[in-house]
A and B are shown apart, each in its own frame.
Chain A
Amino acid sequence: MSWQVHLPALVVSVPLLGAFISIAMVKPRLRNLWFATILVATTILAFLMWRYVAINGTLVYVMGGERWNLTLPSGMTLPIRIIMEVDAFGAFMALAGSIATLASGLFSVRFLDRVNDGNKFVALFFLLFAGMLGLEVTGDFFNFFVFLEIASVASFGLIAFWRDRPEAIEASFKYAVLSTFVALIFLIGVGILYGVYGTLNMAAIAKNMQVGFLEKLALVLFIVSLAMKSGAVPLHMWEPDAYGQAPAGVSCFLVVVGQASLYGMFRIAFSVYGQAFEGNVLAWVIIVLGLLSMFIGVIMAVIQKEAKRLMAYHCISQTGYMLMGIGLGLLALSSSQAMSEYGFTAMKGGIFHIINNAMYKGLLFLTAGSLFYATGTTNLNKLGGLARKMPYTTFMFAVAAAAIAGLPPFNGFVSKLLIYESSFVVHPFLAVVAMVTSILTLASFVKVFQSGFLGPSRDDLNNVREVPLSMVVGMMVLCVMIISLSMMPNWVLANLIEPAARDLVNQASYIQAVMGSGL
């Protein structure tokens, strides 16, 4: 047994260890070193886990035991113990999430010099990291709830990190009330499923799933809570506040944490309910959520004057693309003809969009952060003519804006094209909304670029200088990722996206990896 089977436990425990030790770091330099080391180490672990899963198939890890099951004297077998299950989709999410986290961490290193309690920042950052990765590797409903709460509690702290700013506290409070409430709703859903099936393991529940009233009720509770956590439209109010007020590195990180909740939603929809859920209601609910998020998000973004708030609204509209892509896949789940006709393409588009969004949205938040670092404001009316003074930031912003708007050579174009193609087959209206959203996205980023970076230089910004090296490096990580995703879309689709989409669709293999053929 190679050490690599322990990877699912390691990706969670290494950042957790990092969190608790970083509080005790006395010297800032030592702490920065520790911060960078643990970040890089966790990212490497996530990469190794992805590779292991790509080669050996779904990885099941049982905490503190060799086997998951317990056979009672009466002959009944029960799945007990804490089980982690990583298939290609989970591993892919963990990889995308940790690359974006690495970038936001490197970006934040210099930011820590400006604050007194950097240790606490590092501790919360790693807690959030552990929570996010935990969401993506767990195979058990209750642990999903626990990791959801670990991530939430850490993010309340990080959003309110500028505690001298009333707005930051206000944003954090809003998020805290909403998020605690929906997490409890999620727990009630878990309780209902436990009451019916007597187990908490996702695969075991999926195996016995027979959709009745209670299961539908639980599903509604799950979808409501995870849609809120990922910032889909009817419950999106917290998102612009929280992303707009958090430190920039944290906003970049929160994007991927939101995607981890999205992962949970898809995992529950495909792997736990899957084909047992008859009818198209669930798929259409997800698609309509996607449409609303896309359109309302972008409309609200166009009228914003504050760069980070604008980007946060775009985040909502990008979430809409993922919801729509994967919702279309869910629509096609019961018929293999529909699946080959449009479903699989849509899933590939949706999943590709997840990694694309993590990269370019993260990069946009980081450029907004460096604008703030250099000039002290992100209000577009107070910026202008920064292209000459901050050439690197300008370049990165241009790349990220082109990618998010879906201009042809960039990765955003590839994933959006897949979504347009497949949604057109289902109904042209879906494709039209997606395209209009894309055009409005372009419009609003042209506005930001024009008013922030172009134009004559302003007198009050004469002393502005480019941001320090480590911040540029942080942005560079994401920029290189965007460019390589754009240069090699075929390789990425074949090696990263397709295995993930295939594993997500294949409910039987998810169940079998844990339950075996027995029981």
Chain B
Amino acid sequence: MINNIPMLTVGALFVIGLYGVLFKRNIIKIAIAVSIIESSTNLFLIVLGYRTGGSIPVYTLAGEFKKMVLPTPQALTLTAIVIGLATTALLLTLIMLLYKHYGTLDVHEIRRLRG
């Protein structure tokens, strides 16, 4: 059970994020929800590579350990974090511009495009 807690956290974070994206009306909250999904994805990748009792994946420091934590998912996570930073920044910029134009943050009022 205790070993599954990271995975359960991933699932919980994802569901919370999904709920936020689908049902929140405030667009800043939607951006936050997207970030939460992002964190759940990053956590998922890290959990994938974790080995209980493994040592750090640096060759010169590994010492006598038999097991090592997988380095690839950590590299992926770093890249994903950087990409996430870019998209979050863009989302917030767009929100700022939307607020300037529409004077509101409510998704139901920001809908000139339809049909």
Chain A interface residues (CB < 8 Å from chain B):
142, 145-146, 149, 152-153, 156-157, 160, 163, 166-167, 169-174, 176-177, 180-181, 184, 187-188, 190-191, 194-195, 200, 240-241, 244-245, 303-304
Contacts and interface: CB of A to CB of B under 8 A. Distances in A.
Nearest to A240: B113
Nearest to A175: B94
Contacts of B79: 142, 146
Interface in B59-115: 72-73, 76, 79-80, 83, 86-87, 90-91, 94-95, 97-98, 101-102, 110-113, 115
B83 A172 contact: no
A146 B83 contact: yes
Given A180-B34, A181-B37, A191-B41, A166 B73 contact: no
Contacts of B27: 173
B100 to A, nearest CB: 9
A174 B39 CA distance: 21
Nearest to B38: A184
A177 B34 contact: yes
Given A166-B102, A177-B91, 5 more contacts: A153-B86, A160-B94, A180-B38, A188-B41, A194-B73
A191 B34 contact: no
Contacts of B45: 187, 191
B48 A195 contact: yes
A191 B37 CA distance: 14
Nearest to A306: B115
| Max count, chain A CB within 10 A of own CB: residue among B48, B87, B94 | B94
Given A181-B37, A184-B41, A241-B113, A142 B94 contact: no
B83 A149 contact: yes
Chain B, interface SS category: helix
A163 B93 CA distance: 11
Given A153-B86, A167-B113, A169-B97, A176 B44 contact: no
Contact of B91 (A170, A176, A184, A303): A176
Contacts of A166: 98, 101-102, 112
A460 B97 CA distance: 33
Nearest to B70: A198
Given A173-B94, A176-B94, A177-B30, A187 B72 contact: no
Nearest to B22: A181
B72 A170 contact: no
Contacts of A177: 21, 30-31, 34, 91
A142 B101 CA distance: 37
Contact of A169 (B73, B83, B86, B94): B94
A178 B114 CA distance: 16
B37 A170 contact: no
A170 B110 contact: yes
A190 B86 CA distance: 20
B72 A194 contact: yes
